[in-house]
Amino acid sequence: MQKNPVAKHFPSDADLTQIFQGNEQFFNLLLRQSVRTEQVIARAYAEGTWNQFSGRDFLSHLGRACRNWQVALSGLTPVEPKEGGRGPAILFMNRNSYTAFAASLAAVLAGYDVMFMPLHASEADIRWCLEYFGCVAVATDIQGYAQQLKEIGVAVFDLSTQHWSVRDKSPEPALLGLFRWYKSAPELREAKRQTNSLPEFVGEMPRRVGRFDFISFGHDGFQKPESLSLDALVVTANHLLLHLNTPSDLFWKTLEVLPLANPFSHLSRICALLKNGVIGFPQLGGEFYSHLRILRPTVVFASPPELEKIANHVNEQLNAPGFSPRLAVGSRLDKARGYLKTGRALKLPEAVFDAASRSLLWASRNAIGKEFVRHTLADLQIIVHGLASAREAHVEVLGQMGVPVVETYGVTAAAGLLSANTYDAPHLNLIGNPVSHVSFRLGQNSSLEYRLNHPAFSGSGHWQDTGDVAQMTPFGFKITGRRRHLFVTTGGVTISPLRLEQLLRESEEIQDVCIVGDKMPYLSALVVLSPDAQAEFRTSPEKIREMVQQRIGTVNETLPRHATIKKFLVLEKPFQESLGEKLPSGSLNRIKINETRKGEIETLYQTTVQ
């Protein structure tokens, strides 16, 4: 009998267990999509038109992309796995597009780790990640960016011209076919071995399933790299769905708008797949509001910038000519909303509070008019909010439309999510209760700690510190501060720079400011002037410096002597997100500022630093 040409490369049962261990839930999810041969699972813009892809198309695209990676990277020198089982990686600098979705999953199925890099990363950050993660290539779907990275030292792939077709005839990924065989009965597998009836695949079978890598960003900037298994994302998404308690008739259609550098954005797509819904990928460069009408999402995962866009759109429609809301009903609903935010409401039994919140959403949507809501927000019924706290004004605007903004809280190591509010009771300024695989406790100095209770996470079973200070309430925890925002001077004094910055920004002359002085003898300020003050500074610098000094003096009067600001420096250029000095949420990246503004900071301490 002629031997199967790939039999000598075929993994043993022990090898199969090792390959799929920690990834079985993800592969089971792919198997569920494979039977959706005629159902739409994704909508994307390509070649001048909107395309709808079925589950069969999706797996064909994964298979084609997987083989493309194997062919494209076959001639490269293999990189030995690093500590912790980390394998060769591909660094992705991509927008949230269908191309990035398919190409990144295919890279993982081809045996490569995928590192999602923030788009505002500097060249030094990219080079550091290439070295740390053992990256063998860089992939981007930003037109023209590949040319800028040609001197980076590794292969660079331009995905901006990648097009996906309906009814693609490519075979599914080899690992998925292997997983089907792996899940069959042992005696059936052995019978097929004896007859050499093994699954067919092209090229050499990947010996591992890759992981997703992220840089963990907090309000303080760069923290540390994190690696997540595919199952970690699936487990988190599944438990989030159970926790949200959304209406049973809610059909999940998403709009993918968040940057891929945070795992929270990946939960949106997985939730949609778990709910047999549709993932909507916007046209790159297209208008945000038009996507609401074209893709008609029912669920949007948003950060503060996206929430602001939606709220502004609603406000424009509310103030448009020809619309006259029922003011009498609206005022009563406003009073009800105000009551539910009071301390008295928090003393209500949880079931009563949840019922009141649910009734308020229903009444708001009906009072303003279902047709008007449909015209303004199409099918939108819930916003899952993360990455930073939501603004109350934006939440209230969406509340008038009967669309709850469900706030979540998470860290990168936990796949971007630890806790969430619910559809029925979306409490503002509360992080809600932990999802079912997470435990919370308050540690020393009221620091919030968490424990992951699932083997899909590398830190499972161990308590970890979030760095946030929290307070218990009847409806979940409330974050009251962040320990990592505290500075400790060389004199042992602990100071919060955030409070000082907020006070200084109240001045008309100061647009932005960063307090420095951690582990230094005293505090100093890096000041960014407002446009008007900056123009006057060019002609009368001493006058503007005196005004800034007066403002700092006023703030110092409210502070203990050991916590006052001793020096300041007016910056010529503002803090820039493109340099990594500001995070997408708008917060300062203090570690990056200490690096990019090192020279200016040293001038503030040159008489004391030896």
In a 3-state reduction of DSSP, which class is residue 451? strand
When pLDDT is averaged across residues 511-533 and rounded to a whole number, the result is 89
When pLDDT is averaged across residues 82-99 and rounded to a whole number, the result is 81
Is a pLDDT exceeding 50 seen at residue 599? yes
**pLDDT for the residue 167:** 84
Shortest CA distance to 495 belongs to which of 480, 478, 517? 517
Is a pLDDT exceeding 60 seen at residue 514? yes
Q: Cβ contacts of residue 432 below 8 Å, gap of 6+? A: 406, 407, 408, 409, 419, 420, 421, 422, 475, 476, 477
Which letter, b or e, does each residue of 556-586 get, where b requires 16 or more Cβ atoms within 10 Å of its Cβ? beeeeeebbbebbbbbeeebeeebbbbbbee
Is a pLDDT exceeding 80 seen at residue 584? no
Model's pTM, two decimal places?
0.75
Shortest CA distance to 484 belongs to which of 472, 503, 498, 501? 498
Cα–Cα distance between 188 and 185 in angstroms, integer? Answer: 5
Cα–Cα distance between 504 and 482 in angstroms, integer? Answer: 20
User: Rg of the chain's alpha carbons, rounded to an integer?
Assistant: 27
Are the CB atoms for 278 and 272 separated by under 8 Å? yes
In the chain the domains, ranked by start, together with CATH numbers, are 7-210 (3.40.50.980), 228-438 (3.40.50.12780), 486-604 (3.30.300.30)
**pLDDT for the residue 178:** 83
Cα–Cα distance between 246 and 272 in angstroms, integer? Answer: 13
Q: Which two tokens stand for residue 388?
A: 């930073």
For helices 497-504 and 541-556, what crossing angle results, to 10°? Answer: 130
Is a pLDDT exceeding 50 seen at residue 87? yes
Cα–Cα distance between 447 and 468 in angstroms, integer? Answer: 6
When pLDDT is averaged across residues 474-483 and rounded to a whole number, the result is 76
In a 3-state reduction of DSSP, which class is residue 489? coil
**pLDDT for the residue 286:** 78
Are the CB atoms for 232 and 355 separated by under 8 Å? no
pLDDT, one tens digit per residue, over 297-336 is 999 999 888 998 999 988 888 777 766 555 444 566 666 6
Of residues 328 and 520, more confidently modeled: 520
Of residues 286 and 477, more confidently modeled: 477
Is a pLDDT exceeding 80 seen at residue 596? yes
**Least confidently predicted of 36-40, 128-132, 583-587:** 583-587
Give 218's pLDDT tier (boundaries 50, 70, 90).
Answer: very low
**pLDDT for the residue 466:** 85
When pLDDT is averaged across residues 502-510 and rounded to a whole number, the result is 87
pLDDT, one tens digit per residue, over 27-67 is 999 999 999 988 999 999 877 789 999 999 999 999 999 98
The H-or-E segment that residue 137 falls in is strand 135-140
**pLDDT for the residue 485:** 67
Select, from the ranges 6-20, 377-391, 462-476, the one with the highest average predicted confidence (pLDDT).
377-391
When pLDDT is averaged across residues 122-139 and rounded to a whole number, the result is 84
Percent of the chain with pLDDT over 70: 80
**pLDDT for the residue 219:** 38
Is a pLDDT exceeding 80 seen at residue 491? no
Q: Cβ contacts of residue 335 below 8 Å, gap of 6+? A: none
pLDDT, one tens digit per residue, over 267-293 is 999 999 999 999 999 987 778 888 888
Q: Which two tokens stand for residue 609?
A: 């630093």
**pLDDT for the residue 220:** 36
**pLDDT for the residue 267:** 97
Residue whose pair of structure tokens reads 């595919």 in the numeric block: 230
**pLDDT for the residue 193:** 63
When pLDDT is averaged across residues 583-593 and rounded to a whole number, the result is 77
Give 610's pLDDT tier (boundaries 50, 70, 90).
Answer: very low
**pLDDT for the residue 362:** 67
Cα–Cα distance between 107 and 549 in angstroms, integer? Answer: 55
Round the average pLDDT of the chain to a whole number and report it: 82
pLDDT, one tens digit per residue, over 223-244 is 568 899 999 999 999 999 999 9
**pLDDT for the residue 202:** 45
pLDDT, one tens digit per residue, over 357-404 is 777 676 666 667 677 777 788 899 999 999 888 888 899 888 888 899
